[in-house]
Chains A and B, each alone.
Chain A
């Protein structure tokens, strides 16, 4: 059973147990355009909420991806290094960035749910 939350920086966080799978939303990949490079952190690193964890570069811009919650990186999607197009093709599935073991469930609960995120996208963009 998983639950998905979203940040204002257009990241999604899918929580299963205490493992969060993090990536960018379909809206984010559309805004970025064709992704050409993804720089991922090393597994084992710890991030506090809001710290820069990854970089995603598209034909239009380079953007930072911030840790949406505090936690330890348990796994990164190294498939993206050779095939960044996966982020455009399947951002919510095969295009995930990294998995983190989260420290504090309340940080997750404070994020937007699907309905709130859709409303946010409608209002801001």
Chain B
């Protein structure tokens, strides 16, 4: 069967491993149903006595029929979750060209620190006087984040990047309201290459978004900003290095244009990993920037743990930081929990932020030291440029073969007339055992392929990755389209039908009929 892009969605002619099996398992790759679809109602991990006679007071509210809990023994439960975990391609199983954009290597030292009972076994509702160590750790992490960014204040409570954006833009809105310009400064400038969260954040705060066109070199030019700047502009949201993997060289002038016009400069810190120890946002004119601890400071994310997105603020925005924040009174640290009597924008979350991630991020910072953090940034940039230099003769670079930052962006012009698309190329990478890179983003580049190896890959790992991509590229250029349009051949599932999934999504699980 073909999906709506004309690609096979199931095993069929030409497949390299088409033989069906009795169990539906493929070798040691298990076909795993949902936990509610396996097991039996009469099986349980524990033996419970039959309840004694009782009279129910639930009346008409008593449940009729099955409660629907899965019935598995302990070993069956363990196997179910281990099998699911083995289906996950992760940073711990191989090179992950999405890079720090998703998550980079989580050093195991961080995990050991986060499991220290003094950090792991405390509760956010404990009296502050009983957790001076946790407060001191937050204070020390805050200190180093401010040193690395040269900013005035940091809000620790935001839970991830987009939440950090909301925090920073809310601080800007509060500052503008405090100036009495809330009704007139309503526009936020966002470059075309921005992360989608930027315009979404500005709009959800109530701002109107205006796009700043990208220059032919992939960067934002001061003239383009100047043309849009006016007394109605509240802020610009700019990512540096930008999503094309390029350093915005005119960032200081852009900040000046905003400041002279009475606006603020929000920097999306998603790509901070490229410049830690090399450039400080405070020196570039930034007023607010979120720091994704899981991107830059190696904390786990997704299945591994919650995100964390502290926001650093300039002196102009510091008075509007959200509560709670730390205040030092002599030797004693205390969390200021209520905004009364302050100019704070208010509260964003129930508690003070992701304590476990704070421990890991500080562990990363202290174990690397100033020289180590700087080297990590340099190695991240070096690795991306190594990939660029080794692939530039076969794949095409939209802005010329010039140095990039921590990620290298290819477009699909080199695939023109081959019949192979960026998506096909990415699917063929899965057959070779690699998770695909970021595809079709940023939107300013046609058929984008954005590769971020991060600093943790060895030369040998990069060489194998590069040789694999070269082999695939030469294959595409030789016209071996079969390898691509049928891919993935070897993954547990063939090509999914994205169009059908988007047009008619199944949003409700329906219990399958059980054959007794």
Q: Which residues of A come within 8 Å of B, CB atoms? A: 33-34, 36-37, 57, 59-61, 84-85
Contacts and interface: CB of A to CB of B under 8 A. Distances in A.
B440 A36 contact: no
B505 to A, nearest CB: 9
Contact of A36 (B5, B443, B502): B502
**Most B-side CB within 10 Å, residue of A34, A57, A61, A85:** A34
Given A34-B4, A34-B5, A59-B498, A84 B440 contact: no
B440 A60 contact: yes
Nearest to A83: B503
Contacts of A36: 499, 502-503
B443 A84 contact: no
A37 B503 CA distance: 7
A61 B502 CA distance: 12
Given A34-B5, A36-B503, A37-B503, 7 more contacts: A34-B499, A34-B503, A36-B499, A57-B502, A59-B502, A60-B440, A84-B503
Contacts of B503: 34, 36-37, 84-85
Contact-size category for B: under 10
By secondary structure, the A interface counts as: loop
Contacts of B5: 33-34
A59 B443 contact: no
Contacts of B498: 34, 59
Interface in B486-516: 498-499, 502-503
Nearest to B211: A64
A60 B422 CA distance: 12
Nearest to B4: A34
A53 to B, nearest CB: 16
A59 B7 CA distance: 15
**5 closest A-B pairs (Cβ-Cβ)?**
A36-B502, A34-B499, A59-B498, A36-B503, A60-B440
A85 B498 CA distance: 13
A61 B443 contact: yes
21 contacts: A33-B5, A34-B4, A34-B5, A34-B498, A34-B499, A34-B502, A34-B503, A36-B499, A36-B502, A36-B503, A37-B502, A37-B503, A57-B502, A59-B498, A59-B499, A59-B502, A60-B440, A61-B440, A61-B443, A84-B503, A85-B503
